[in-house]
Chains A and B, each alone.
Chain A
């Protein structure tokens, strides 16, 4: 039994979600190999070889893999898939994009977003926006899995010594091409990897107010900024800040929800946080039912006060 983990990386380094996915593969048992498919990604492959629990890194390098196009990455995975009983992707935008393509080509079902490994063929996963947990068993020969990163503690990123094998990159599919990328620039920690997240809701009222209130708090705590779907839909915050079932799933050490009522779909995205603080002036807001510390107050008063007190 050998598992293949498809690394999430930026060619220079390995993203933390890879470490959680390696941990899930280790929980399944057997050897763990990592595929680093990229362009000029030697540094990322070398970093992958350091991950504790990984015995081999397969490094596929070429221009066809640079943009992470699903057609090419899936073909790269399929080129080595026959060596593996389990193929695991982090449940990131990239992982979710490619994994089902691999599963369908192998004619196997896919198990999405696992949060626990019960055995080599049985897994737990949330359904209905986390309102129920399903225990599912795959009857296929190969298990294609995406891993909800918050369900698994990260494998240690250093201390391992895997061998690195280089393989040729697949040819371009000729069916899709990369046009451009608009990366939200900031110096903050990445939302899904942050230790502290401060998150704003519709109560902030405008994008100016959102920034005026949330940024000083984030700066003070060295936190990432998140937002509720309502705040994103209203245009107060960028799309990729959305925390919730249909946005990012996060589990930081501290989650501070400001002016967020706590809709089911938002709670599904953050309820695994270690400590939750809710600041809301509505005493009936559902967010208080999951908060460790609730402060019933006007956020426009309480948040600046909090910034001053920290």
Chain B
């Protein structure tokens, strides 16, 4: 069974982004870019499934600009066997990415697709569910534990108020939550090996997919600033302020 894993190149999670002064977006020129952290967890999970002998091949996929090849090399350094880049300079929204991934599913026929639950740039949390809908397959989102056996995936999901376990027939789409696993550190030998692995490049046109955006960004602005209040010297003053000034207790 093959596993397809989608990875996105995003602004590194340690970077505090700045809104451009013309309000056209955030300034991502010259900032560090990395693999979306949830996608790293997705690759790690796929590689662990291969190491357990449950899958035969892990294919990493990314959609976007040429530099996404670096992200795919990282995925292969973690352990993906090969990679596919769908290259375009156009803005890609989740529906477009889901359509591209669906086209690749048709080509590769994976038994499982694993994606991060959301990207930390647009915070959409859509692509996995959309792919499941387009492929008419079951979905197990926000996974914190995955077991694969007997043509099914038994997935524990993080939901409001606790955990939920569902069984989905394979092929299925899984999206990862933070605590599914802790991705391994990539080692230098594995980085070197990853450079030699196969990386195919397609264009959206090659896959027959219309990636035109459906949602226009009119403006990006700074969030309302919350100003710092006062420091209180002791607990008694704090209680007094909460009771008599803020009146919240």
Most buried by A among B118, B168, B242: B242
The answer on a CB contact under 8 Å between A176 and B167 is: yes
The answer on a CB contact under 8 Å between A274 and B125 is: no
Whether a CB of chain A sits under 8 angstroms from the CB of B203 is no
Residues of chain A at the chain B interface (Cβ within 8 Å): 67, 69-71, 74, 92-94, 96-105, 107-113, 122, 126-140, 173-184, 190, 192, 196, 221, 229, 232-233, 239-240, 245-246, 248, 253-254, 264-265, 271, 274-277, 288-297, 302, 305-306, 309-310
Given contacts A70-B141, A101-B129, contact A181 B220 (CB under 8 A): no
Whether a CB of chain A sits under 8 angstroms from the CB of B19 is yes
The answer on a CB contact under 8 Å between A93 and B159 is: yes
The answer on a CB contact under 8 Å between A182 and B217 is: no
Of the candidates B161, B164, B216, B228, the one whose C-beta lies within 8 Å of that of A180 is: B164
- The residues in B between 210 and 225 inclusive whose CB is less than 8 angstroms from any CB of A are 213-223
Of the candidates B17, B120, B178, B249, the one whose C-beta lies within 8 Å of that of A310 is: B249
Shortest Cβ distance from residue A129 to the other chain B in the assembled complex, whole angstroms: 7
- Chain B hits for A264, CB < 8 A: 16
- Which of B52-60, B64-72, B75-83, B132-140 contacts its partner? B132-140
The answer on a CB contact under 8 Å between B218 and A96 is: no
The interface size of chain B toward A, counting residues with CB under 8 Å, comes to 77
- Chain A hits for B160, CB < 8 A: 92-94, 190, 192, 240, 248
Given contacts A74-B133, A93-B142, A239-B163, contact A137 B215 (CB under 8 A): yes
- The residues in B between 107 and 144 inclusive whose CB is less than 8 angstroms from any CB of A are 118, 120-134, 137-142, 144
CA distance A100 to B229 in the complex (A): 40
Shortest Cβ distance from residue A121 to the other chain B in the assembled complex, whole angstroms: 10
Shortest Cβ distance from residue B217 to the other chain A in the assembled complex, whole angstroms: 5
The answer on a CB contact under 8 Å between B94 and A109 is: yes
CA distance A239 to B141 in the complex (A): 15
- Chain B hits for A305, CB < 8 A: 235
Whether a CB of chain A sits under 8 angstroms from the CB of B146 is no
Whether a CB of chain A sits under 8 angstroms from the CB of B165 is yes
- Chain A hits for B246, CB < 8 A: 254, 274-275, 292-293
Shortest Cβ distance from residue A178 to the other chain B in the assembled complex, whole angstroms: 6
Whether a CB of chain A sits under 8 angstroms from the CB of B239 is yes
Q: State the 10 A-B residue pairs at the shortest beta-carbon distance, nearest first.
A: A109-B214, A292-B229, A100-B129, A104-B133, A104-B130, A175-B138, A100-B126, A176-B138, A179-B165, A93-B159
Whether a CB of chain A sits under 8 angstroms from the CB of B11 is yes
Of the candidates B98, B131, B248, the one whose C-beta lies within 8 Å of that of A275 is: B248
The answer on a CB contact under 8 Å between B163 and A181 is: yes
Given contacts A128-B26, A139-B216, A196-B248, contact A290 B228 (CB under 8 A): yes
